[in-house]
Amino acid sequence: ADCLATTALERHAPSFLASVSERRLTHTLCDDHVQTLALGEDMVAHVHGASAFLQVDQMGQHWLRLEFLHFVSTRDGSVRLTVYGHLKRDRMYYAQALTLPLALVQKWRCSLPDLATEDARVASFFGYDAIAYCDLKLSPEIPGELQTSLRMGDAGASLRLCPAPQRRTWRIAACTQPLHSFAKMEELNPTLLKDFLDYHRLM
């Protein structure tokens, strides 16, 4: 069957404990434009980004997590929408394109050719985009450029991941809702968003 069962998901989940001794971004998508993957005769996946993370569990085993941020649509260009609000103005503004639901229950696989292949898991928090990700056992040596493969059923394509620049990062996020009227917010509270980011960066 093309659909993943829960047991298959559990079977391919690595046994990371509560504390991972190391997690480091190693690679990102080489090309800075959206990659298009043909998924059979009816569907197309638009890959917005891809990353590789080196993870080391408490047993010292090295894993490479591959993550692919994608949106799936039909070949005829039809896109499902979800809307919010009662006013026409709000419903026009809050119209969000949804990734094709059928793609969320299909069997995805990702691989590093000649090294490892695993079933992928797919997550989508709101149905707009989805992330396909898998964890591959790996030796401590990581190739400079990764030639990865993402497939759904018998269809898919290769994606190149290049080494990511090593720089210090912070786990900071800001809700984009204030940015919908950023000019007004900045007029009422100058530097508020900057102060918010600076505060959490220093914590």
Q: What pLDDT, in 10s, does the model give residues 41-65?
A: 888 989 998 999 888 887 878 888 9
pLDDT in tens, 147-167: 888 888 888 888 889 988 777
Compute the Cα dihedral for 63, 68, 74, 78 and give only its sign: positive
With a cut of 50, say whether residue 7 has pLDDT above it: no
| Closest to 3 in 3D by CA, of 112, 86, 135, 102 | 102
Residue type at 10 in one-letter notation = E
Q: What is the pLDDT of residues 9-30, one digit of tens each?
A: 444 444 444 455 567 888 888 8
pLDDT at residue 172 is higher than 80: no
Angle at 152 between CA 149 and CA 139, to 5 degrees: 35
Cβ atoms of 134 and 96 closer than 8 Å: no
Q: Alpha helices of the chain — where are they, by DSSP H?
A: 6-11, 88-93, 101-104, 182-188, 192-202
Closest CA to 136 of 47, 68, 52: 52
What's the one-letter identity of residue 33? H
Residue 164, token pair as written in the block: 């990511």
pLDDT computed for residue 2 by the predictor? 43
Give me the DSSP letters along 48-79.
Answer: EEEEEEEEE-TT--EEEEEEEEEEEEETT---
Give the β-pairing of 62-74 and 80-82. Answer: unpaired
**Does residue 181 sit in helix, strand or coil?**
helix
**Highest averaged pLDDT of the listed ranges 8-22, 86-100, 179-193:** 86-100
